[in-house]
Structure 1
């Protein structure tokens, strides 16, 4: 049994945002199978501070600094005819390390996490290749373009990423995505003659950590409530749009009728997000050391996303904390839970207002929905259940080569 080379576009430690959570658990599952060599990028000093933790799992590692200015990546993308996403994650030092690692170790499997890292896959490698795209990123950029967000730039990015995704699907032994709907979407975008194995490989949640019965700090909220919470990376455009939508179009009626408070919790809030903190009963918390007290003290958690790809970790975490979650259909994608039993899907702003009012007024039993939600994720979407699938992806039937 040979070694595994794992390439990820973000440092898998600490697992404090959606993609890092997924790569964190993926590397832990791979390390159960054999020696893992990890090439990745650090974006912050916090990432760098976890290099020692990475070394306890990895047989060897190379952590490149991702400090290339976006303008430079854009210029390189135009000159090379590649997407900005690929140019932003191209690093000569990491490329050299990959070549040296393959030469020095008996690596029979390469696992690529996120399409940006496919550029490091050598044409000459004839072992098993697993590519975890997570989401169909090209579709996301196309949606941005259709919404008029930097239309020309995002249309170009979507077109080039679509070509890259097709190449990666053809190059790999198996390509995984975060949900069956994402897998179906990729299949529908491949040329008819493309021969590729596409599978859904779901996300999980750490139900031991996200546990309402755990010994948690007291509620961070000064007001008695009702308190409504949104969590997420707050420089991510769909999250920004979601909280702006909720603060301007949903919250005012809940404030007038119930004195509701809206709490935006998550790292790196943009200026637009910080400005929401000037609105009545809106608090922008920014980064917090532990999300659980905020979730545990929430009367409801909302995910009013208009653009969402894959499985939303924020939703799984709130469900694990036994909170009633009110979300859009987009945010519910990839979570095989039942509307009305495990969470509450609101089709538009008016429906979100009505659903939240029903919760706050007791016409919907938030406690029962939260308890059902916790039981569902514990049974169906724990990381331990997901780990069992990794061995089959990497080494099916105990065989290790492309010829298998």
Structure 2
């Protein structure tokens, strides 16, 4: 029997799965392709990703990838101040993609739509598409992220971010009302969204957890770090280093926590591993034994050889893949409380959380003294966060699922 057809809209090409949102969007794509003929519409905002366009044919019947130039998108985003919309909508709007969406739905008689990220819902938020079975994966509550950003700003930017929080939350409610289901990355995030929405919408809001590829992130695999210029004993942070939450995390850690750790253990090094480091991150390189790698082909050697993984995120929503990956590698982890939300693993000799600089440093020092033997972090991930298990509920929210 032929598979039903599904339109999948994604704000960033879901391959390769090398950063937070793309890890989730790719695994969703793999799962959806098992049940549907997938028609994918997405943006590409990184030149590095153009080499992977043809790879999408492994999971998609058809795909439309639009180049997103960030400067142009920022200029487009300014129109929101004239239209009473969140900046996010014009930033991610493309007339050619909108035309492709309409033509694809009509040409192939598509009845099912899966939207990844609230920024892409606008393409099917029209009366002519009201008959479709529409599911939106917000991942986490974007409007709440903007509220957090505002708390860390002042002056004009605080006003801009507060405005985005208010406007985007209005559209999040609109999508929740009009679409069949609204999905989130964790029960915590789904529960918070229910609190923000009218009570009548509660039954539409559900969690589909993130997972981790435990076969790939496996400490028993032979990983050679010989070709990497690693310095002795070190702590590591992984993540896309053009993302503000990650930039803020390493800046705070280097300013307030790292000096306290080095005062006791001056031989330690700190590696910041991730692509597109901002100028603020690059400024940390080479100072006080802090090393910024930039994009790497594989983060596993950096995790495998680390004495400790840190995730001091002060702005965070949902479930942090960087924490799950570290735990899957059975590494000791010290994180902020926000970075541990949704994972809900119990504190142990190998996993701890704090938001206060002195306590964070103290936990790191304690963890460094703790033997690796007996670490249970990988066991927790295997029991709670494998992709087949976390995506199992997804089919219950989709329309016309092929079985």
Contact 1:2 1:106 in 2 (8 A): no
Contact 1:177 1:199 in 2 (8 A): yes
Cα 1:221/1:358, change in 2 over 3 Å = farther
Contact 2:89 2:119 in 1 (8 A): yes
The structure 1 residue matched to 2:360, chosen from 317, 336, 352, is 352
The structure 2 residue matched to 1:103, chosen from 95, 106, 109, is 106
- Corresponding residue for 2:89? 86
- Corresponding residue for 1:286? 294
**Which consecutive unaligned segments of at least 5 residues does structure 2 have?**
none
Superposition CA RMSD, Å: 1.8
Instruction: Tell me the SS of whatever aligns to 1:61.
Output: strand
Once the two structures are superposed, the pairs formed by residues 53-68 of structure 1 within 5 Å of their partners are 53-67=55-69
Instruction: Give TM-score, length-normalised by structure 1.
Output: 0.93
1:377 aligns with 2:377: no
- Corresponding residue for 1:23? 25
Q: CA deviation at 1:127?
A: 2.5
1:205 aligns with 2:209: no
Contact 1:323 1:367 in 2 (8 A): no
CA distance in 2 between counterparts of 1:156 and 1:399 reads 42
Instruction: Tell me the SS of whatever aligns to 1:309.
Output: coil
- Corresponding residue for 2:260? 253
Q: CA deviation at 1:101?
A: 0.4
Once the two structures are superposed, the pairs formed by residues 296-335 of structure 1 within 5 Å of their partners are 296-335=304-343
Q: CA deviation at 1:159?
A: 0.7
Q: CA deviation at 1:223?
A: 2.7
CA distance in 1 between counterparts of 2:239 and 2:19 reads 7
Contact 1:170 1:195 in 2 (8 A): no
Q: CA deviation at 1:55?
A: 1.7
Contact 2:194 2:202 in 1 (8 A): no
- Corresponding residue for 2:189? 182
CA distance in 2 between counterparts of 1:41 and 1:222 reads 35
Instruction: Tell me the SS of whatever aligns to 2:78.
Output: helix
Instruction: Tell me the SS of whatever aligns to 1:207.
Output: coil
CA distance in 1 between counterparts of 2:11 and 2:230 reads 39
Instruction: Give TM-score, length-normalised by structure 2.
Output: 0.94
- Corresponding residue for 1:393? 397
Worse-matched range after superposition: 36-45 or 194-203: 194-203
CA distance in 2 between counterparts of 1:160 and 1:222 reads 46
- Corresponding residue for 1:235? 242
Q: CA deviation at 1:184?
A: 1.1
CA distance in 1 between counterparts of 2:191 and 2:200 reads 16
CA distance in 1 between counterparts of 2:133 and 2:350 reads 38
Instruction: Tell me the SS of whatever aligns to 2:182.
Output: strand
CA distance in 2 between counterparts of 1:97 and 1:349 reads 50
CA distance in 2 between counterparts of 1:222 and 1:176 reads 40
Aligned residues, how many?
A: 394
The structure 1 residue matched to 2:151, chosen from 131, 146, 164, is 146
Instruction: Tell me the SS of whatever aligns to 1:211.
Output: coil
Q: Please list the CA deviations of residues 260-312 of structure 1 after superposition, one character each: whole Å capped at 9, or x if unmatched.
A: 11110001111111111142111111111110000000000000111110000
CA distance in 2 between counterparts of 1:341 and 1:389 reads 33
CA distance in 1 between counterparts of 2:304 and 2:84 reads 48
Worse-matched range after superposition: 159-168 or 43-52: 43-52
Cα 1:5/1:71, change in 2 over 3 Å = closer
1:133 aligns with 2:141: no
CA distance in 2 between counterparts of 1:47 and 1:100 reads 26
CA distance in 1 between counterparts of 2:33 and 2:230 reads 44
Q: CA deviation at 1:399?
A: 9.5
Q: CA deviation at 1:192?
A: 4.1
Q: CA deviation at 1:341?
A: 5.6
Instruction: Tell me the SS of whatever aligns to 1:5.
Output: strand
CA distance in 2 between counterparts of 1:204 and 1:180 reads 14
1:365 aligns with 2:367: no
**Which consecutive unaligned segments of at least 5 residues does structure 1 have?**
none
Worse-matched range after superposition: 18-27 or 243-252: 243-252
CA distance in 1 between counterparts of 2:52 and 2:372 reads 38
The structure 2 residue matched to 1:77, chosen from 62, 76, 80, is 80
Instruction: Tell me the SS of whatever aligns to 1:29.
Output: helix
